[in-house]
Amino acid sequence: MNRKYDNRRSEEAIAIPIEEAHRAAAHGIERAAEDRGAFLGRVYAHLLGAILAFVGVEVFFFKTGLALTLSKALLGVNWMLVLGGFMVCGWMARGPASRAASPGAQYAGLGLYVLAQAVIFAPMLYIAESYADGGVIRSAAILTVLAFVGLTLIVLQTGKDFTFMGGMLRWGGIVALIAIGGGVFFGWALGTWFSVAMIGLAGAAILYDTSKIVSDWPGDRHVAAALELFASVALLFWYILRLLMGSRR
């Protein structure tokens, strides 16, 4: 009888630490999910801030006449160089910002990138506003928002990991730069199908970036993560706008 009682007490003594371990593990998982949710909130808040800052800079350019000045300067060179500069600018800003540990360096990278994109976008927006019916800008913005929301929901609702596309995105970017180089040096016409392909590339980049933000990004890099998403959204908006402008000529 005493032996059975002792065995029961031994089993209970073992069960208690196991239950405590399970509760601690569940609490750790719950805490990690809460931390990741807070991180996502900070990322998307900074993304919204970056978009509003971009809009604010463009409004300033148009109100002060700088949009016309920038358009004359940038349209005076080969437009394909502007397209190439658009992509290279994104790559150059993303790398240092993603490696920066200090919030100040991340904010500096995001601010400089938003400003650079506003400068590069000025000629396209000026042409769209002046010659291609200003409503095309609103249409492109609406389509970009709808596409971004849809792609984001695909990642968040399905839980599918799209980070496997990293290599394909890098290769797609290289092919796009080669095509742009062909336009500069050999006069290749990069028309509708190029815009469609780049819209597809930008959409894939948003899936990739969102998957990384959900699972991989360190909790202190929310500003750099927002820069990544902003670059992909800007690329998507650029080529949707280019496609719509081409269709209304």
Q: Tell me: the pLDDT tens digits for 22-58?
A: 454 444 445 556 777 888 999 999 999 999 999 999 9
Q: Is 104 exposed, middle or buried (0-12, 13-18, 19+ CB in 10 A)?
A: exposed
Query: Which of the two residues, 88 and 104, has the higher pLDDT score?
Result: 104
Of the CA atoms within 13 Å of residue 237, those in its CB half-sphere come to: 24
Would you say residue 178 has pLDDT above 80? yes
Cα 169 from Cα 177, distance rounded (Å) = 12
Tell me the Ramachandran region of residue 156: left when phi exceeds 0, alpha when psi lies from -120 to 50, beta otherwise: alpha
Percent of the chain with pLDDT over 70: 71
**Helix pair angle (222-247, 79-99), 10° resolution:** 160
Residue 137: Cβ within 10 Å count: 19
Element (H, E) at 198: helix 192-215
What burial letters (b/e) apply to 201-221, b meaning 16+ CB within 10 Å?
A: bbbbbbbbbbbbbbeebeeeb
Q: What is the largest CA-CA distance in the chain?
A: 98
Say what the alpha-carbon torsion angle 58, 59, 63, 66 is, to the nearest 10 degrees.
-10
State the chain's mean pLDDT as an integer: 80
Dihedral sign from CA coordinates of 223, 142, 63, 131: positive
Would you say residue 135 has pLDDT above 70? yes
CB 109 within 8 A of CB 227: yes
Average pLDDT of span 96-101 = 64
Say what the alpha-carbon torsion angle 87, 90, 93, 98 is, to the nearest 10 degrees.
-130
Angle at 187 between CA 181 and CA 192, to 5 degrees: 85
SS3 96: helix
For 141-167, the pLDDT digits (tens) are 999 999 999 999 999 998 889 999 988
